[in-house]
Structure 1
């Protein structure tokens, strides 16, 4: 047997990443498997749950073979909240509905919001119903597959789907459950069975636990001979919260910023915090609560531009944007290329680039897109602070921190210092940390993943002015954006 290690795996929107981490926190090995979502009419964005287990199996086998590691514990996370519905034999009835980028359940969101009342939802569930909530998507499936629900169905997310196959346990962590609005009672931190049967009769809800708790141990799997029986497995969580754990952004005045396919923000609080345009959630650990927000695009936007411009290496675009300097040569963008989540909660918002001239090049455009996401972060932070969250420091992770430019722009726009730790592998690293902590192998994240650098803000009056214009630009163009979105939906339905 080779080196001892903890195994973490995260199922993302565009790829699944696995990591082996030594007991001292150093990375033994990583592997990634790319995949694609399925896009359908009505704003549906889905994925076959079978992909999640298949990629776990392949990545675990590959890393085990490459390093010959003795795996001490397993942690899993995934994009979410998702709604994967399976029958009682765990056969999916359809591709899973993904998180806030999936807009299929608009009618269910509107109907349930009216029936339950927004005041009640905010008071009892800590969030209003939006495209982010898993509850309306479960109702959407129930309306289209009533006979399957009558026979009984289970609700899964990527992490719980894999945990089921590893351990045989049908479980879900409390944080993920708290994003299944309105099925979860935020005060009791338990399911509301009556609400579940009202929304999706026949659904059998999983046992709940904390993300950092062991929920079971592995069983022998003929399709994965490299997996020995008896390895402890934790409940796991949604990717952004696992990534928050990976960099220790759990302090009361810290805000976690995840630069991924979408950009996600998590503020921490010892008490429940609510705002109608944000998501109030239960944390990963007892006694923790969050106010969360998320952009609909960030890495997806930069990848779109890189592909469109025919550039292979992001470093080339980053150098171009750095030479342009603050203000992008007088360009101002709205990053709503896939609608927008918080705080607008506007799935029909669309991207805008204002100020274009024949003198502008790709560096100007790329910088304008980076600055647009920074303005969106500032908008979210302001709303969080208005709701009572305390934000003093940003702690970041994700692919966007590989260079200093994007985090530097965010710090300058928001006026907040930004902490970057040594390992920014992401959620899979957080999964490995959580299971190592659960088994008593590590006490503090600082021992695993120390701070590498701190980005101090250099506030610019130009950014203050552009931020105000950014806010006004949406207000001035929202009606046009919505009309264009309607045209796009009609085109999609006729395709």
Structure 2
């Protein structure tokens, strides 16, 4: 095998895109580059109060070109000729309305500033009503079309977002020919696609978010969608039947993109997938080990041999799909809608007076004020973690419910809200932060419990991503709460590295992705073990967490509008 074989992994996150250039023979990272979406950074096209989060395709295109060219420049001109493959992962479900050529409407005249013509980011919850309708509608059919997505459809997913956009925007509705996931569109773009019917759709995205299943012969029948809302009439035939795993080729670089990037048209482009799925591969996932990609949210991935999953359907998760992570294995996905976002929210609360009052200070100038703000922002979470780790804890200490962005799993419900309980006049910032961390760990334990209850063992945990690598405090608490060890993967970029592994497989350097994992994976560099002096206390506090969560869910489900209105009047008085 030649010594100069390289691949590129591209990882689209919520805030930025990162590309890595990797030696396909040993996994050595030659270069990496990050591009922060400028329009997203300005909060354009978003309205957090309405849970609307949209991203412009130009952010994606500009970032794709910039990061790959940066990597090639860092590595040297001789490397470009030896690049054999590119693969891409993205957030999801992050779909967009396209015309018949597969072009996102936001790239067409008249739609450039229309949020409904842009990618609907995974955490956009504007389709809550539509998701509820899909769940109710599915009960009317003899076939349970939601059985492979955990039995509950989420507002974070493909069909709820499509229906919401069609209902909300007549102009987009009239121009929308089809609906495309971000992870499918980028390979289509790179290969010069110009017919949406020729787009190779990801098994990962289709199975976990779009109700695709081989058992249905593809998507549910058109009648299922038309009887839900006539606006969906005709979409089945304009979508897809076949899906592809990420070890397969989407095609090769088009002449346009080869010229833009300085690469050859022989470079293979792999079929895309979601970030957590490729991240699990980059993190060297093993059967029955739960791989937790921990960032703004968590995505929890588990694989099991397909024959061992016969007759098992785990309720309330984000689906189980053969081949969605590793071909030949059933891929099971769960996760939390807010993890790092919970800590970031608390940081913003604490920074508010700094941001508001420093700018008005008569003591420091504007430049110094900005530097001080940035310094404090970088130090808040590390210092809170340090102080929280030293706190004594008992059964009555502050505790929290982690549904600050709704609940993804188990049992999706994006209408639920977070809570902090047990507060007193002695409750300070480290104590509240500690409660928030514990709440996110308890939310993670709910997922493990659901797998075990449904007959799928969890042998251990694999921690991936920024939170896993940067916070020993959170990881030790995770091990204590779960009462099982958690290994931390060496790579800081497991999603991008996983994409590189799939690029190497799609390009034919390896015959299967497991071989790429073995050759390119760097392994693990830390492991946290449960502290037996704390596991019992956490088990008791977990009961309090569960009881409060049940109460919040009951009130959310059963509170009558007139009661809510009366409470609001009392608050206003």
TM-score (norm 2): 0.77
**Which of residues 328, 331, 340 in structure 2 aligns to 1:290?**
331
Q: Report deviation, 1:216.
A: 0.6
SS in 2 for 1:142: helix
Moved more, 346-355 or 281-290: 281-290
Q: Report deviation, 1:480.
A: 5.6
Q: Distance in 2 between matches of 1:121 and 1:159?
A: 23
1:493 matched residue in structure 2: none
2:318 matched residue in structure 1: 279
Greater strand content: 1
**1:288-326 Cα distance to aligned partner (Å, 9 max, x none):** 223322211111111222333343134333222222255
1:48 matched residue in structure 2: 56
SS in 1 for 2:243: strand
Asked if the contact 1:265–1:294 (Cα under 8 Å) also holds between the matched residues in 2, the reply is: yes
**1:435-489 Cα distance to aligned partner (Å, 9 max, x none):** 12333445252432222232222242110111000011122334566779989xx
Asked if the contact 1:122–1:274 (Cα under 8 Å) also holds between the matched residues in 2, the reply is: no
Is 1:445 aligned to residue 511 of structure 2?
A: no
2:118 matched residue in structure 1: 95
Moved more, 85-94 or 39-48: 39-48
Greater helix content: 2
Change (3 A) 1:168 1:257: same
Is 1:373 aligned to residue 440 of structure 2?
A: yes
SS in 2 for 1:73: strand
**1:371-398 Cα distance to aligned partner (Å, 9 max, x none):** 1111001111111111222211111201
Moved more, 105-114 or 173-182: 105-114
Unaligned runs of 5+ in 2: 107-116, 194-198, 352-376, 569-573
Change (3 A) 1:189 1:32: farther
Matches within 5 A, 1:52-131: 52-68=60-76, 69-70=79-80, 71-89=83-101, 90-92=103-105, 94-99=117-122, 101-117=123-139, 120-123=144-147, 127-131=151-155
Change (3 A) 1:113 1:481: closer
Matches within 5 A, 1:255-334: 255-269=290-304, 270=306, 271=309, 273-282=312-321, 283-310=324-351, 311-313=377-379, 314-324=381-391, 330-334=397-401
Is 1:467 aligned to residue 542 of structure 2?
A: yes
Unaligned runs of 5+ in 1: 491-495
Q: Distance in 2 between matches of 1:471 and 1:141?
A: 35
SS in 1 for 2:31: strand
Q: Distance in 2 between matches of 1:427 and 1:147?
A: 36
Is 1:364 aligned to residue 366 of structure 2?
A: no
1:7 matched residue in structure 2: 8
Is 1:185 aligned to residue 219 of structure 2?
A: no
Larger Rg: 2
Asked if the contact 1:78–1:238 (Cα under 8 Å) also holds between the matched residues in 2, the reply is: yes
Moved more, 63-72 or 231-240: 63-72
**Which of residues 454, 477, 492 in structure 1 aligns to 2:527?**
454
**1:79-115 Cα distance to aligned partner (Å, 9 max, x none):** 101221111241326122232x322223322333333
Change (3 A) 1:312 1:286: closer
Asked if the contact 1:417–1:457 (Cα under 8 Å) also holds between the matched residues in 2, the reply is: yes
Instruction: Name the Cα RMSD after superposition.
Output: 3.0
Is 1:155 aligned to residue 179 of structure 2?
A: yes
SS in 2 for 1:160: helix
